[in-house]
Structure 1
Amino acid sequence: MGNSSSMLTQYDIEEVQKHSNGAFTQQEIVSLYSRFCQLDRKNCGFIPSDEFLTIPEFALNPLSHSLLTMLDNLNFKDFVAFLSVFSPRATLQHKIEFIFKVYDSDCNGKVTFRDILRVLKDMSGQFMPEKKMEEILIQVLEEAGYQKDSVLVLSDFMKILGDTGVKMEVDFHVD
């Protein structure tokens, strides 16, 4: 795939659509390609993670630094696959897997109390003392059947979040 929307072929669109599990229409993929090309300022076919910080909505997101590890050097197919979790067509399992990756910052397939606390700190900033966050987190874990020293894996996240109706959606405007 080249760096201009005129170089996106029907075959490319179909491949990207398949790679993103059908989360986007063909028209949405063409629109996303246009945005990808804007972010690919060096025209190299990849977007370095720091380019995402130039998007005001992303830079203001309290989890932006946690997400940067997932975003480094994305090609177009991976860019769309990353965004697919925010599509209303994404499955609940896909969304929970994404949430798990946000918490699993060292990519070892396990989430610890410290991992969860780190994300909570990112999300709440300085609005709540760390001691209070720890107390609340311990209570939430215990209510879910876990302890402070429990190590959570993806299946635990599926069990905990599976019935919550996780809603992570972004309205993708089609040009």
Structure 2
Amino acid sequence: MGNASSMLTQYDIEEVQEHCSYLFSQQEIVSLYERFCQLDRSAKGFVAEDEFLSIPEYSTNPLSQRLLRMVDGLNFKEFVSFLSTFSARASLQQKIEFIFKVYDIDGKGKVSFKDLVEVLRDLTGSSMSEKQREVLI
């Protein structure tokens, strides 16, 4: 599984399924592997920041920079684990923990006023002043 151009074995598929708490079927994992290989253009065995930004929906997301710190350099198993949060089969708790990580910018285990201002800045761009953001929060 280290080389992105190699094929997945049944053992690899089962290992990835276990790692992501069986939120994806074997066929879904094979499909995700094909997509992972497309993204890993240099066949390094992980997807780099610029490769993630090649996904149009990802690059236009106002929170893409927040997500990038979570996904840069993921190998296939980590890639599937990251995507498992978006699965319809993921629990509410998994989704809440993921959203919390997006908002906990400094990684200190709490969402501070400063973290919220940063996220709001990403979402509003230049359409709001710093003062307006602070008042809103």
Same fold (TM over 0.5): yes
Can you give the 5+ residue segments of structure 1 that lack an aligned partner in the other structure?
Answer: 138-175
Can you give the 5+ residue segments of structure 2 that lack an aligned partner in the other structure?
Answer: none
**Percentage identity across aligned positions?**
64
Match of 2:124 in 1: 124
Q: Which structure has the larger Rg over C-alpha atoms?
A: 1
Q: Structure 1 residues 25-34 or 121-130, which shifts more?
A: 121-130
Counterpart check, 1:41 vs 2:25: no
Counterpart check, 1:29 vs 2:23: no
Secondary structure at 1:120 match in 2: helix
Greater helix percent: which structure?
A: 2
Match of 1:146 in 2: none
Residues 72-91 of structure 1: matches in 2 within 5 Å? 72-91=72-91
Alpha carbons 1:22, 1:89 under 8 Å: kept: no
| Number of residue pairs the alignment of both structures matches | 136
Match of 1:111 in 2: 111
Structure 2 length normalisation: TM-score? 0.92
Structure 1 length normalisation: TM-score? 0.73
Match of 1:12 in 2: 12
Instruction: Give the Cα separation in 1 of the matches to 2:49 and 2:82.
Output: 13
Match of 1:63 in 2: 63
Secondary structure at 1:3 match in 2: coil
Instruction: Give the root-mean-square deviation of aligned CA atoms.
Output: 1.4
Larger RCO: 1 or 2 (CA < 8 Å, sep 6+): 1
- Where does structure 1 differ by over 6 angstroms across 4 or more consecutive aligned residues? none
Secondary structure at 2:37 match in 1: helix
Match of 1:3 in 2: 4
